[in-house]
Amino acid sequence: MSCEHLVCAQCAHPVIEGRCPTCRASRERMHQHGFAGLSPALIALLLVVLLFVSLVLKHLSGL
């Protein structure tokens, strides 16, 4: 969901403009992505690295 088409109930202006504290708070809340401040791309990269490491360890334990 994006705030481009939302109208603030407080000031009746588009939320994307952030004219009042309510707009700014809503805009910031909607623009937060990821988990614990990490971007979704970084989380995906960490998961791929974890998978790779687990596969390497599984292969080494089988030797």
Every domain of the chain and the residues it spans: 1-32, 35-63
pLDDT confidence band for 42 (50 / 70 / 90): confident
**What is the reported pTM?**
0.47
Counting residues of the chain whose pLDDT is more than 90, the rounded percentage is 32
45 Cα distance to chain centroid: 14
Structure-token pair, residue 30:
């909607």
* Other Cβ atoms within 10 Å of 33 Cβ, number: 11
